[in-house]
Amino acid sequence: MEILGLLIPISLLLGAAGLAAFWWMLRKGQFDDPEGDAHRILREDYDDKPK
């Protein structure tokens, strides 16, 4: 059971990393145009210069 002392902090840390990643994406505006981004990724003119 001692392993729990290690596993629980690790799992919390990983979860927190996910939360931080989400916060970053929110700041970067990755949720501003979900519909447009879904289409953009399929177009060749964005291959060279994704933005």
Partner 1 sequence: MTAFADPQHPSACPACDAVPLAEQAAGKALTEARLMLAMPGIHCAACISGVERILRSEPGVRDARVNLTLRRASVEAGPDIDAEMLCAALNAAGYEAHQLDPGVLAATEIDARGRALLMRLAVAVFAMMNVMLLSVAVWSGAEGVTRDMMHWISAAIAIPAVLFCGQPFYASAFAALRGGRLNMDVPITLAIALAVGTSLYETMLSGEYAYFDAAIALCTFLLAGRYLDYRTRANARSAAQELAALEVPRALRLTGQGTETVAVVDLRPGDLVRVLPGGRIPVDGIVVEGNTELDRSIMTGETLPAAAAPGDKVNAGEANLTGPITVQVQAAGRDTELARIGDLVAVAEAGRSNYTSLADAAAKLYAPGVHIIAVLAALGWFAYTMDLRVALNIAAAVLIITCPCALGLAVPAVTTAASARLFRKGLLIKDGTALERLAEVDTVVFDKTGTLTDGAPEPLGLSELSADEAQVALALAEGTAHPLAKALANGLRQSGVVPAQLAELQEIAGFGVEAMWNGTPVRLGRAGWLEAKPVTTTATYLRIGTAAPKAIRFADQLREGAKELVEGLKAQGLRVVLLSGDVAPAVDAFAERLGIGDLVAEAKPDEKAAEVRRLTGGGARVLMVGDGMNDTAALAAAHVSISPASALEAARAASDMVLTGRNLLPVLDAMATAGKARSRIKENFTIASVYNLLALPLAVTGLCSPLIAALAMSASSLTVSLNALRLR
Residue numbers of the site for partner 1 (CB under 8 A)? 1, 4, 8, 11-12, 15-16, 18-19, 22-23, 26, 31-36, 39-40, 42-45, 48-49, 51
Helices (H), the chain: 4-27, 34-40
If 0-12 CB within 10 Å is exposed, 13-18 middle and 19+ buried, where does residue 32 land?
Answer: exposed
CA 1 to chain centre: 32
Q: How far is the CB of 7 from partner 1 (least distance, A)?
A: 10
Nearer to partner 1, 4 or 6 (CB): 4
Q: How far is the CB of 38 from partner 1 (least distance, A)?
A: 8
